[in-house]
Amino acid sequence: MMNALLILSALLALPASAEDPSFTTGTMETAAPPQGMRGRPINLPDISVIGVMDGHLSDYKPDTAKDKFEFEEVETAFQGFIYPEVRADVFLALHKHGAKYEAELCEAKASFLRLSEGLAAEVGKIHVNFGKLNKMHTHHRPMIDQPPVLTNFLGEHGLVGQGGTASYLLPLPFYLQAEAGAWQGEGHEHEASGKTTVVDTAGNTVEVPIYQESAEFSLADKVFTGRLKASFAPTDKSELELGSSLAAGHGAHWEEHQDEAKVYGADLTFKLWPSSYERWAFQNEYFHLTRTVPAGRLQRDGLYSFLNYRWNKYWDTGARFDYAEGAFPTQSIERALSALVGYHFTETTRALVQYKYRRINGGTVNEGWLQLAFGLGPHSHELE
Amino acid sequence: MRSLFLALACLLASSTAWAKLQVVTTTTDLKWLAEQVGGDLVEVESLSSGGQDLHFVEPRPSMVMKVKRADVLVRIGLDLDMWADSLVSASRNKKVVYGAPGYVDASVGVERLQIPTDKVDAGMGDLHVFGNPHYWLDPSNASIIADNILEGLVRAEPAKEAAFKENYWKLLRALTEKLKEWEKKAAPLKGVKVVTYHNSWVYFAKRFGLELFGNIEPKPGLPPSPSHVNKLIAMMKEKGAGIIMAESYFPLKGARMVADKTGARLVVVPSSAGGLPGVRTYFDVFDQVLDALLDARGGKP
């Protein structure tokens, strides 16, 4: 028997723990299992830099950003665990605003990954989990521009809040996650174009800032959000995701407009993987905005529908249809068709080209972008 | 009445399933090995299929549910299946997080090859800092993988240790027999010069004595460039490499072109169970690959 075991060990180069059938390994006697190699054996967070360069062509004459190729954004990320089952992710961005680069705390959050069975929470400054695209950082999205429905109803930089959110993965045989958040919403700051004097209801003359009606709409002040997301795998090679979202709060310029707003969202995504690298993704989001102002109630709709096909490990192509009404009393409707081609050098380095044909209030605009985005270092985002 | 019986039968079947230890693996090879060690006492699901590039698996919500149900997670490690991390986070399953008793890194104890000794960056392609992660392609490493799985199962279900060990030794006996068979079968392949698509066959080559001297990819994960392919063709002609190995999921256009220009035989091989039709188990992978290589070399499989 001993000989047989020696031969067996020699043949298989067995680990020491398995040489004797009646073995009891040291690792079994301790609570912690042997851990494999992961990350780097130094006490540093994962540090990464994402750089995004954009070139933009347009036949829309008033567009001040057209016919330029420039560094659009640099995002630096620091990510890691700060306590067992608690991680921190800090994303600092320098991005182009007009002619200047401005620093911004893009996201900074502590994530409590397992508060109890199925329950997790995040606190900090966070891209709110509303629909499919809002949570994704721009360099991670499969398109260069933001669909106008997000810009019109959630703001140019999407719905970003300071606050917290709790999510619960329901104990069901299929994926169903419910999430609720409370935020101090940050309407992206825009300077007033000037001041004027008006007579208030008490008959006093007061000075007020002038905000142009065309300034973007976004939710701000106390914002409450909710999201329900379900997912099913009809086959081993496909996934169907359904989601509904709600955000309620004041408009960003509430003091001027006195507006209460609610944005309802519904999304549907179907993905199909015919082979290891090939993938079809059909992603759709529909938003409905109700905005109650002293003069009455606005109701606006918007959607996008995006079809993406990755035909091999490196190349993908896509097309998107947009329909978005403006969030302001003056009716404006934008329809657009986009076509995209992308080449992915690595997971975080890519080149994208996008053409977009827009019809807005009867006028047409042709636009094109070239985007080069690169990643340095280990950069990760949670499951989206 | 019939419906009632059916419902009861379903209930019974599902309760039996839930009584089993739930194991989730990142690959089909680990699934098969976990099934051998766990036997009837475990239910194992793989997060990837055998025909997938393991560097390129897209995590999805339905996978979250598999991880959520798991008592034990078995992964390849060495930063190959990093996509599993986001699934573990999203699942909120304390049993399988890094450091928990149900977390099994199958690479622990494996003698790693090609560990970078200098600075590593993306200029070198998709290089793994802890060494080449394709260690399961040396079948003798299966004993180490199985040992790690055994320890994980025992940590999760100590009361069933004896049964797991019995299965484990049964697997090792079968593996010993197969290793003898494969060593004998691979004898004519010793010193045979082989080009591979990706740098994934170093463990296999070391075990069976193949001589690897190039990859179709210029650097790991990068598509073949014309200049690299031209150099490779010249080298293959000079050194007489007669076989190109490519996993079934890689695009074969570049490899076919090289084969055409050099007269080498292109061998499409599975790198995991399920990687080609008929390759159902981890052992089948080596049967299939050795047969294909022998056939390409001109000898009978």
Q: What is the DSSP string of B68-137?
A: HH-SEEEE--TTSSTHHHHHHHHHT-GGGSTTSTTEEETTTT--------S---GGG-S--TT----GGG
Give CA–CA dist B110/B194, Å, rounded.
24
Buried b (16+ CB within 10 A) or exposed e, A113-151: bbeeebebbbbbbbbbbbbbbbbebbbebbbbbbbbbbb
| Nearest-CA distance A183 → chain B (Å) | 22
Residues B289, B204: Cα–Cα separation, whole Å? 10
Q: Are residues B130 and B266 in the same domain?
A: no
Structure tokens at B109: 């104890």
For residue B131, what is the domain's CATH number? 3.40.50.1980
For residues B131 and B247, membership in a common domain is answered with no
- Nearest-CA distance A109 → chain B (Å): 15
Could you say which of B79, B99, B249 has the minimum Cβ distance to residue A35? B99
Q: CA–CA separation, A28 vs A33, rounded Å?
A: 7
Do residue B169 and residue B194 come from a single domain?
Answer: no
Shortest Cα distance, chain A CAs vs residue B62, angstroms: 6
Same domain, B114 and B254: no
> Is A117 an 8 Å CB contact of chain B?
yes
The two three-digit tokens of residue A52, written as one number: 């995004």
Q: To probe the interface with A, which of B28, B65, B124 has the most A CB atoms within 10 Å?
A: B65
pLDDT at A268: 98
Determine which of B56, B89, B140, B253 to mutate to test the interface with A (most A C-beta atoms within 10 Å): B89
Q: Does A313 touch chain B (CB under 8 A)?
A: yes
Distances, alpha carbon B135 to alpha carbons B10, B81, B106, B108, B165, in Å: 41, 13, 10, 11, 23
CA separation for the pair A46, A81 (Å, rounded): 10
Cα separation, A338 vs A340, in Å, equals 7
The Cα of B120 is separated from the nearest Cα of chain A by a number of Å equal to 11
Measured between CB atoms, which of B68, B172, B180 is closest to A169?
B68
Q: Which DSSP state fits A291?
A: E
Beta carbons of A383 and B59 less than 8 Å apart: yes
Within a 13 Å sphere around the CA of B73, how many CA atoms are in the beta-carbon half?
A: 31
Tell whether B49 and B118 lie within a shared domain.
Answer: yes
Structure tokens at B126: 């998709």
Q: How far apart are the first and last CA of chain A?
A: 55
Residues of A in contact with B168 (CB under 8 A): 18
State CA B241 to chain mean position distance.
26
Q: Which residues of B touch A273 (CB under 8 A)?
A: 58
Residues of chain A positioned with their CB less than 8 A from the CB of B78: 36-37
CA distance B186 to chain A (A): 16
Mutation target among B68, B92, B177 for the A interface, most CBs of A within 10 A: B92
In terms of Cβ atoms closer than 10 Å to its own Cβ (0-12, 13-18, 19+), residue B130 is buried
Residues B80 and B137 in one domain: yes
Query: Within a domain: residue A91?
Result: yes
Would A12 be classed as within a structural domain?
A: no
Query: Residues A361, A189: contact at Cβ < 8 Å?
Result: no
**Which segments of chain B have a pLDDT < 70?**
1-18, 299-301
Bridge-based pairing of strands A68-83 and A86-97 is: antiparallel
Please give the Cα distance from B214 to A164 (Å, whole number).
Answer: 52
Q: Which two tokens stand for residue B25?
A: 């693996």
Distance (Å) from the C-alpha of residue B165 to the closest C-alpha of chain A?
Answer: 7
What is the domain count for chain A?
1
State which residues form the domain around B163: 2-180
**Residue A233 to residues A173, A205, B256: CA-CA distances in angstroms?**
11, 63, 35
Q: Which of B126, B148, B180 is the last residue of a domain?
A: B180
Residues of B in contact with A312 (CB under 8 A): 251
Is the Cβ–Cβ distance between B248 and B226 less than 8 Å? no
> How many residues does this entry show for chain B?
301
With beta carbons under 8 A apart, name residues in chain A contacting B104: 33
* A383–B contact, CB cutoff 8 A: yes
Nearest residue in B to A229, CA atom: B61
Half-sphere exposure of B283 (CA within 13 A, CB side): 15
Answer yes or no: do B9 and B138 share one domain.
yes
* CA pair distance A69, A144, nearest whole angstrom: 14
Q: How far apart are CA B69 and CA A143, in angstroms?
A: 35
* Touching A: B residues 155-214, CB under 8 Å: 155, 165, 168-169, 172-173, 175-176, 179-180
Q: Which of residues 162-201 of A touch B (CB under 8 A)?
A: 169, 173-175
Q: What is the pLDDT of residue B1?
A: 47
Which range marks the domain in which residue A98 is found?
A: 47-188+213-376
The chain A residue lying nearest B108, using CA atoms, is A36
Indicate yes or no: CB of B62 within 8 angstroms of CB of A239. yes
Which tokens belong to A81?
Answer: 């665990």
Do B222 and B278 fall into the same domain?
yes
A15: contact with B, CB 8 A cutoff: yes
Domain match, B41 and B147 both: yes
Q: Are B208 and B186 in contact (CB under 8 A)?
A: yes
Q: Are residues B29 and B140 in the same domain?
A: yes
Contact: A35, B105; criterion CB under 8 Å: yes
- Interface contact B129-A35, CB threshold 8 A: no
Residue A200 lies in a domain: no
How far, in Å, CA of B33 to CA of A228, rounded?
Answer: 38
Per-residue pLDDT, A38: 64
Q: Is B94 on the interface with A (CB under 8 A)?
A: yes
Q: CB of A77 within 8 A of CB of A48?
A: yes
My answer on whether B95 and B240 are in the same domain is no
CB B285, CB B270: distance < 8 Å: yes
**Pick from A69, A46, A52, A56: which is nearest to A139 by CA?**
A52
Tokens found for residue A311? 């035909």
- pLDDT (0 to 100) of residue A53: 94
- Between positions 42 and 81 of A, the ones with CB within 8 A of B are none
Please give the C-alpha separations between residue B178 and each of A290, B282, B287, in angstroms, as whole numbers: 69, 11, 9
Which residue stretches of chain A have pLDDT < 50? 1-31, 190, 213
Q: Is A28 in contact with B154 (Cβ distance < 8 A)?
A: yes
The CATH number covering residue A57 comes to 2.40.160.10
On whether both B259 and B217 belong to a single domain, the answer is yes
**Coil, helix or strand at residue B247:** strand
Counting Cα atoms < 13 Å in the Cβ hemisphere of A16 gives 4
Other beta carbons within 10 angstroms of residue A322's beta carbon come to 21
ipTM above 0.90, yes or no: no
Helix (H, G, I), strand (E, B) or coil at A178: strand
Residue A3 lies in a domain: no
- With beta carbons less than 8 A apart as the criterion, state whether B189 and B209 touch: yes
Pick from A3, A29, A38, A382 the residue to mutate for testing the B interface (most B CBs within 10 Å).
Answer: A38
* Interior/surface letters B41-66, b for 16+ CB within 10 angstroms, e for the rest: bbbbbbbbbbbbbbbebebbbbbbbb
Please check whether residue A38 lies inside any domain of the structure: no
Q: Beta-carbon neighbour count of residue B234 at 10 Å?
A: 12
A237 located within any domain: yes
Note whether A114 contacts B: Cβ–Cβ < 8 A. yes
Distances (CA, A) of B133 to A253, A370, B130, B208: 55, 36, 8, 18
A276 touches chain B (CB under 8 A): yes
**Which residues from B are below 8 Å from A313, CB to CB?**
53, 56, 223, 251
What Å distances lie between residue A201 and A42, A198, A204, A205, A206, CA to CA?
A: 64, 10, 7, 10, 10
State whether residue B52 sits within 8 Å of chain A by CB.
yes
All residues at 6 or more sequence positions from A368 whose CB lies less than 8 Å from its CB, including other chains = A56, A57, A58, A353, A354, A355, A356
The verdict on a CB contact (< 8 Å) between B78 and A36 is yes
- If one counts the domains in chain B, the total is 2
B139: left (phi over 0), alpha (psi -120 to 50) or beta: alpha
Instruction: Return the H-helix or E-strand segment holding B261.
Output: helix B253-262
B64 and A25 within 8 Å at the Cβ level: the answer is no
Residue B175 in tokens: 């593996």
Paired tokens of A111: 């994530």
CB contact under 8 A, A231 and B61: yes
The answer to the question of residue A234 being in a domain is yes
Say if the Cβ atoms of A11 and B65 lie within 8 Å: no
CB-based contact B60 A239, cutoff 8 Å: yes
Q: How high is the pLDDT of residue A384?
A: 67
Evaluate whether residue A61 is within a structural domain: yes
The CA-atom distances, in angstroms, between A299 and each of A227, A288, B154 are 21, 7, 60
H or E element, residue B208:
helix B202-208
Inspect the interface and report whether the beta carbons of A35 and B154 lie closer than 8 Å.
no
Degrees (nearest 5) of the Cα angle A246, A251, A257? 145
